[in-house]
Chains A and B, each alone.
Chain A
Amino acid sequence: MKEKLLLLILSFIVLTATADQQAVIQKANTAYQAGFYENAAKLYEQVIKDGYASSELYYNLGNAYFKADKFPSAILNYERALKLDPSNEDIIYNLKVANNQIIDKIDQLPKLFYERWWESLKQLLSPDAWAVTTIILFVVFFIVIAIFLLSTSVGLRRVLLISGLLLLFVTGIFFIFAYETSEEAREHREAIVFEPTLPVKSSPEETGIDLFVIHEGLKVQVIDELTGWREIRIANGSKGWVKSETLVAI
C-alpha cells in the first residue's frame, strides 16, 4: 500500500513537471512543420537542457538538425534516440540517410556470428524494457517454483521444474542485457566527431604523428581518456588519440 502511494506521488511530480515541456515541444513541432528548422532545434534543445528527454524528442531534434544541414548534430541525436528505442524503424532509417551525407565510410570489422547474435538480440529492447522484463520473468520463475513445491503430481512437478530452471536461465540473460544496455547508455562509450577534418594522432599530444584522418559525423568508440584527450577506435578497428573537445558523447 505504501509503495503504491509512493509511485503515485512520483508519477504525479513527473507529469506536472513535463506539462511545460510538452508545450515547448508542441511549439517546436509547429516551427519544424513551418520550415524553421533552426528554431525548432533550439526549442527541442531547451527541453533537454531542462533535464527531460525521450527517444521521440531526440529523433525530432535529429530531424531538425538534418534539415538545417547540420549532419553531425543530426547523427548525434539519432544515435541518442536509438539508445532509448533501439528497434525504432524511423530512427534507423533517418540515421542511415544522415550517415549517407557524411564523408567517412569505414568498413566494419567483421564480428563473429555469436557476437552478432548477441548484439542484435540486445538491440531488441530499450534498457528500461530489459530491466522490466527481467523483473517480470523473475517473478514468474518464483511462481512456477511455488507451484512446483505445492503440487503432488509427479508429471506436473517434472514439467514445472524444467520450465523453472529455463526461466531462471533466461532471467539471467535478460539481466545481463539490461545491465549492458543501461551501462552503455550511461557511460557514453560512443561519440560523434564534430570537427570537419580531424587528424587522429598516435599519442595524446600535439606533436603526435597523424595516423589517419576522420571527418565530422563519424561515430567512434571512446576507449580511454586522459586530460584533454580521448583515445578512440573507429569501426575498422584503427585506434588513435584526438582532443576531447572534437567529440560529443552519445
Chain B
Amino acid sequence: MRMHLFSFRATIQLLIMLFITSFGYAQVEFKATANQQVAVGDQFRLIFSVNAQANGFKAPAIKDFSIVSGPSQSSSRSMQIINNQVTSNIEYSYTYILQAVKEGTFTIAPASVTVDGKNYQSNSVSITVVKGGGSQNPQAQENQGQSPDISSKNLFVKASVNKSNPYQGEQVIVSYKIYTRVPLSQYSVSKTPSLTGFWSENLIKDNTPLNQYREVINGAEYVVAEIKRDALFAQKSGRLVIDPLELDVIAQLEVKRRRSNDPFDDFFNNSFFGSNYQNVKKKLLSNELTLNVKPLPDNKAGKDFTGAVGSFNINTSLDKNVVKANDALTLKFTVSGSGNLKLIDKPAFIFPPDFEVYDPRIIDDIKVASSGVSGKRTFEFLLVPRNHGKYSIKPISFVYFDQNSGSYKSLRTPEFNITVEKGTGNDSYVKAGAEKEDFQYIGTDIRFINTGIFKLRPVNHFFFGTLWFWILFLLPVILFVLFITIWKKELKKRSNTALMKNKKATGVAKKRLKAAEAYLKNGNQPAFCTEVSNALWGYISDKFNIPRSILSLELVSEALHQKSVSDELITKFINTLNNCEYARFAPGDKSEVMSNLYSQAIEVITQTEQELK
C-alpha cells in the first residue's frame, strides 16, 4: 500500500516535470554553447542563441578568457509552408570569439535576454582549458634563439594588386606571394590586414595545396608560392591603404655540424634523414598596398542603382501565370556574372497590393575562382495572392556599373501577368467572412424572392419635384387663398347690409321728424310735440298699412307684436307716444324736454326699422 502511494506520487511528479519541460520547449529556448575542452592559446566560439525575437541581451562577465571579438549579433529566419500554413522559425544568436589564456576549468555565467517583455536566462557553460602550445610547433620554440639569421633577400613576402586604380565597388584581386631561396617547412598567417573600407572574399581555401613555381629576380632564382589571394571590393572612394600581412614561417636551414669521426654519424646526419637541417622561425611582413579608388561617375540611371559593380546578366521567371487564390507563386530573380554579387540587394519589385509577400530567400551560387568572384545570386520571392482577379507585376530596372566601359548599364525585367482564380470551394469568401464577423450568419440563407404583381414604375422616377408634386403641393395654397378672399368678401357684404339698414332706418326716422326738427329749432313746443306724435303715428300707419283714423295705442302694440318686435321696444315706442302728449304741457326747460323727446323718437323708429327688417 505504501509502496503504491509512493509510486503514484512519483508518477505525478514525473508528469508535472514532463509538462513543465515540454512547455518550456514550446516556448522560448535560450542556450549557450561552446567547446567543452580547449587548449591554452586556442580560439573558440561561445554562442548564445535564442529561438525568438529577442532584445536586451545581457552578457555575463567573461574574466577567464580574452575576448577576441564579439558579441556579434546575427539572426536567421526559416519558413515552411505546409498545406497553406506558414510557420516561421527565428533564431537570434550572439557570438563571441574567445581565446583561452590559462589552464583550468572555468565557468561562464548565464546570459539573459528579453523576449516579449519576459526575461530568459541561458545555461552556464563550463570549459576546461588544457595545456596547449606544444602541439602547435614545438620545434620552432625549441630552436628559437640559436637560429642563424635569414636575410630578407632570401625570403620575403610580396603583396600585389591587379589594379591600383579601381572604381568604387569594382573587384580588385590582391595576392600575397612568398619568395624564398631557402626551404620552408611551415608558415602561418599571424595577422591579416584589417581591410577597413573593403568587402573581401578569400579566393584560396585554407586547405588547397600551394602552387609553386620558380622565378628569377635580378639573377637570383626564387621559389614562389602564392599563399593568399583576396577579392576586394572598395566600399568608398579615395586613398585606401591595405595593411601588411604578417607571417610566421619556419625555414629549414642547413646546420654546419662539427664533423664526427664516426663515419656512420655523418651518414645518419645527412640530408637524407633530414636531421642536418635546423628549423628557424622568422616573422615576415609584406609590403603595404595603396589603392586609389575612383568614385562612381554621376548616376544618370536614377534611383534604380543599388551598388552592383561588375558585369551582370539578369533572369526573372515566374513559376506559373494562373493560380488559385491562396496558392503560392514563386518569382525568381537571378543575377549572374562577376562582380560584387554578395552585395546585391533584393530587387524592388512592386507587387500587387493584395499579395502576401514574404522576404525573399537568397540563394547564392558564387564561385570563388582565382580569377575572382563570379556566379549567381537568386532571390526567390514567395507570393500568395489572397483574392481573385487579374494582376500584373510591373517591370523593374536592374542597374549596375560596368567598370569595363565605365558606364551604367540597365537591364529590365519583363512584365508578368497573373490570373488569380477563385480558390477552391469559395474558400476565400467563407474564410474572409468568418474571420471578420461573428458567426451569426454562417449557414443561413437569404430570404426568398417576392412573387406576385409588382408595382412597377419608371426607373429613377421620383414623385418629389415633379410637376404633379408641385401642383398638388401648391393646390391647398391656392384653395386657401381663394377661401380667404371669398370669406373676406362675404364678411364685408354682411357688415355692409347691417350698416345700410341702420343708415336707412335712421334716414326714415329723420325724414319723418324733419318738420319736428324745424319746430325744435325755433322752440315751438306745442307744434313740435304734435309733429313728433304725427311722425310716430304716421310711421306705424305707413308700415302696417293701418288707416290713421283707427289707430290706437293698443293697435300699435299689437301690430308691432305681430311682427315680433321685442317687448322692450314696444314699451319704449308706446312710452314715446305718451311722452308726446305729456310734453305739450310739461313745465320746466322746454328745449331740454324737446331734444330728449326728439332723440327718443329717432331711436325708437331706428330700432323698430332694424327689428322689422
- With beta carbons under 8 angstroms apart, the residue of A32, A52, A146, A182 that contacts B462 is A182
Measured CB to CB, the closest approach of chain A to B122, in angstroms, equals 44
In the complex, the answer to whether B387 meets A51 with C-beta atoms within 8 Å is: no
| B456–A142 CB distance below 8 A | no
Closest CB in chain B relative to A231 CB, distance in Å: 19
Query: For the complex, is A82 an interface residue (Cβ under 8 Å from B)?
Result: no
Cβ 8 A contact of A103, one of B353, B387, B447, B460: B387
Provide the bound-state CA to CA distance between A32 and B460, in Å. Answer: 25
Cβ of B220 < 8 Å from any Cβ of A? no
Question: Which B453-467 residues have C-beta < 8 A from chain A?
Answer: 453-460, 462-465
* Residue interface bits B346-389, CB-to-A below 8 A is 1, else 0: 00000011100000000000000000000000000000000111
Measured CB to CB, the nearest residue on chain B to A135 is B472
> Contact partner of A146 among B458, B471, B483, CB < 8 A?
B483
Q: Is the CB of A134 within 8 A of B473?
A: yes
Of the listed stretches A18-26, A109-117, A236-244, chain B binds: A18-26
Is A101 on the interface with B (CB-CB < 8 A)?
A: yes
Q: Which residue on chain B has the smallest CB distance to residue A145?
A: B480
Q: With the chains together, A179 CA to B534 CA distance in Å?
A: 78
Q: Looking across the interface, which residue of chain A has its beta carbon closest to that of B420?
A: A196
B582 at the interface (CB under 8 A from A): no
**B473–A135 contact, CB under 8 A?**
yes
- Residues of chain B contacted by A67 (CB below 8 angstroms): 446
Contact of B450 with A138 in the complex, beta carbons under 8 Å: no
Interface centre among B446, B469, B475, B480 (most CB of A within 10 A): B446
Residues facing B in A190-205 (CB within 8 A) are: 195-197, 199
> Known contacts being A63-B449, A130-B464, A146-B483, is A53 close to B456, with CB within 8 Å?
yes
Q: Is the CB of A54 within 8 A of B480?
A: no
Q: Which residues from chain A contact B448 at a C-beta distance below 8 Å?
A: 63
Interface residues on A, range: 35 or more
Q: Which of B434-451 contact A (CB under 8 A)?
A: 436-437, 441, 444-451
A221 adjacent to chain B (CB < 8 Å): no
A98 and B446 alpha carbons, distance in the complex (Å): 8
Task: Check if B462 sits within 8 Å of A131, measured CB to CB.
Answer: yes
Chain A residue at smallest Cβ distance from B477? A142
Measured CB to CB, the closest approach of chain A to B124, in angstroms, equals: 51
Q: Known contacts A60-B449, A145-B480; is A105 also within 8 Å of B436 by CB?
A: yes
Dominant SS at the A interface?
A: helix
Chain B 413-450 near chain A by CB (<8 Å), digits 1 or 0: 00000000000001001001100110001001111111
A100-B433, A197-B387 known; A54 vs B455 contact (CB < 8 Å): yes
Mark the stretch among A89-97, A153-161, A222-230 that contacts chain B.
A89-97
Chain B residues with CB below 8 A from A166, complex form: none
Let me know if A96 and B441 touch, CB within 8 A: yes
B466 closest partner in A (C-beta):
A131
Given contacts A100-B437, A101-B433, A185-B460, 13 further A-B contacts (CB under 8 A): A18-B456, A32-B449, A52-B458, A56-B455, A67-B446, A93-B446, A100-B441, A102-B432, A128-B463, A142-B477, A149-B487, A186-B462, A197-B353
| A contacts, CB < 8 Å to B | 3, 14, 18, 21-22, 25, 29, 32, 47-48, 51-54, 56-57, 59-60, 63-64, 66-67, 69, 71, 90, 93-94, 96-98, 100-103, 105, 127-128, 130-132, 134-135, 138-139, 141-142, 145-146, 149-150, 178-179, 181-182, 185-186, 195-197, 199, 210, 213, 215
| Chain B residues proximal to chain A, CB less than 8 Å | 352-354, 387-389, 391, 426, 429, 432-433, 436-437, 441, 444-451, 453-460, 462-465, 469, 471-473, 475-477, 479-480, 483-484, 487
